[in-house]
């Protein structure tokens, strides 16, 4: 088994609180040998990351006190004990309660910069980050406080770590599509800070097609399009995301494997699937990491990347997902490098920047022992 030590801490600089969460994943021996830190250090992109899902227990407790928002948990230990889920909805119930502690521009800055610190340590050179404005505006938090704090942190992350980034605004599919359109309209004064739009939250019973109108409006504004589909929902949701919404990437997509015609199309068009192994185990999509279909996906020729989804809830950030998945599914270093290359190529950066990111990966690999 992998053993993981989680150490939470806080450091102060002149103008911000730097939240530090260090996960030390010990190496173990597999049939392919000793797993090193090679895969953690691989230059990679993270394409499936909900910024609200990076709210660590220590920061949650602090924000609860700072903003006078009561929680049903009184300590970090109690929060950690509550992070046992049976499905997506059981997770979302905790997720939305925790997000209720985020109120100010500074809160969103602290949350986002803490993620960028961890991502930089895990070899992330580009991140396309999801945020859920409806989670906050429905509570009366101003839109500009949400996007302003996140954008400030992304700029600081670029200055400090050299990490490029983009912001993808997700609509909550359990709310009416009309509310999604209202959110898109509210976002237009901040259009230059947005890379794209997505669709997330409770999947079953909320097919993508209901959001065709708002996705068409987003496309007309030049925004890139992604959608969660095929995590708990059926393969038909993946078809809808592609054909009705016009999604360019599918977030998760595991259940596409149940439809041979869909797999054939995904392979032929090389539609990127942003797969989240630790998340799938934590939400009981698969029983064990060793049972994850990622190996089968790659063998079929699907265009997959590894991502962390909501890492503070699911037991690990992107580096942990890379290391743990390599061990569980016995991927070689070359196969893991291929997954990292997929992530860079599936990003929405301009072609010349994408070429530079891939060249940076190739340079890293050229110095491998």
- The CB density around residue 327, as the number of other CB atoms within 10 Å, is 21
DSSP 8-state secondary structure symbol assigned to residue 49: B
Per DSSP, the three-state class of 148 is helix
Give the span between the Cα atoms of 327 and 323, in whole angstroms.
6
**What angle in degrees, to the nearest 10, is found between the helix axes of 143-161 and 177-187?**
60
Give the span between the Cα atoms of 97 and 106, in whole angstroms.
19
pLDDT digit string (tens) for the chain, length 369 residues: 333 333 323 333 333 333 333 333 334 333 344 456 899 999 999 999 999 999 999 999 999 999 999 999 889 999 998 888 888 888 888 999 999 999 999 999 999 999 999 999 999 999 999 999 999 999 999 999 999 999 999 999 999 999 999 999 999 999 999 999 999 999 999 999 999 999 999 899 999 999 999 999 999 999 999 999 999 999 999 999 999 999 999 999 999 999 999 999 999 999 999 999 999 999 999 999 999 999 999 999 999 999 999 999 999 999 999 999 999 999 999 999 999 999 999 999 999 999 999 999 999 999 987
φ, ψ of residue 307 to 5 degrees: the values are -145, 175
| 50 closest CA partner among 147, 129, 116 | 129
The confidence score (pLDDT) of residue 37 equals 84
The confidence score (pLDDT) of residue 82 equals 86
Of the residues 56, 203, 231, 240, only one is catalytic, namely: 231
How is residue 339 written in tokens?
A: 């997954």
* Catalytic (active site) residue 203: no
DSSP 8-state secondary structure symbol assigned to residue 287: S
- The CB density around residue 192, as the number of other CB atoms within 10 Å, is 6
- The CB density around residue 309, as the number of other CB atoms within 10 Å, is 29
The confidence score (pLDDT) of residue 369 equals 75
Give the span between the Cα atoms of 82 and 200, in whole angstroms.
22
Number of domains in the chain: 1
What is the separation, in whole angstroms, between the first and last Cα of the chain? Answer: 26
Q: Which domain holds residue 118?
A: 4-366
Is 131 within 8 Å of 150 (Cβ atoms)? yes
How is residue 174 written in tokens?
A: 């359990």
The confidence score (pLDDT) of residue 89 equals 86
Is 122 within 8 Å of 318 (Cβ atoms)? yes
pTM of the model: 0.90
Is 344 within 8 Å of 354 (Cβ atoms)? yes
Beta bridge partners of 272: 303
How is residue 244 written in tokens?
A: 């009705």
CATH number of the domain within which 357 lies: 3.20.20.140
């Amino acid at each position: 088994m992998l053993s993981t030590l989680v150490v939470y801490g806080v450091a102060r600089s002149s103008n911000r609180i730097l939240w530090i969460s260090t996960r030390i994943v010990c190496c173990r021996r597999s049939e392919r040998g000793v797993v090193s830190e090679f895969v953690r250090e691989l230059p990679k992109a993270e394409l499936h990351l909900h910024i609200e899902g990076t709210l660590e227990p220590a920061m949650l407790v602090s924000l609860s006190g700072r903003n006078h928002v009561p929680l049903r948990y009184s300590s970090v230990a109690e929060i950690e004990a509550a992070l046992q889920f049976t499905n997506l909805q059981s997770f979302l119930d905790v997720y939305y309660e925790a997000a209720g502690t985020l109120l100010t521009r500074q809160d969103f800055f602290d949350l986002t910069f803490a993620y960028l610190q961890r991502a930089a340590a895990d070899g992330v050179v580009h991140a396309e980050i999801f945020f859920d404005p409806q989670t906050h505006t429905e509570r009366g938090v101003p839109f500009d406080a949400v996007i302003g704090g996140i954008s400030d942190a992304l700029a600081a992350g670029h200055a400090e770590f050299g990490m490029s980034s983009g912001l993808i605004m997700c609509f909550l599919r359990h709310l009416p599509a009309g509310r999604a359109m209202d959110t898109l309209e509210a976002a237009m004064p901040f259009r230059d800070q947005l890379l794209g739009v997505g669709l997330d939250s409770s999947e079953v019973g909320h097919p993508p097609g209901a959001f065709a109108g708002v996705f068409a409006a987003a496309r007309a504004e030049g925004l890139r399009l992604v959608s969660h589909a095929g995590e708990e929902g059926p393969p038909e949701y993946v078809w809808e995301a592609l054909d009705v919404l016009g999604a360019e990437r599918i977030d998760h997509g595991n259940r596409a494997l149940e439809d041979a015609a869909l797999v054939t199309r995904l392979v032929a068009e090389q539609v990127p699937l942003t797969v989240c192994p630790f998340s799938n185990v934590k939400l009981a999509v698969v029983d064990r990491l060793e049972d994850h279909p990622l190996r089968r996906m790659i063998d079929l020729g699907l265009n997959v990347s590894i991502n962390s989804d909501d890492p503070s809830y699911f037991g690990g950030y992107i580096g942990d997902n890379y290391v743990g998945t390599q061990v569980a599914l016995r991927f070689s270093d070359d196969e893991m490098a291929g997954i990292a290359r997929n992530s860079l190529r599936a990003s929405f950066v301009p072609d010349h920047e994408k070429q530079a990111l891939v060249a940076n990966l190739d340079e890293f690999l050229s110095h491998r022992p």
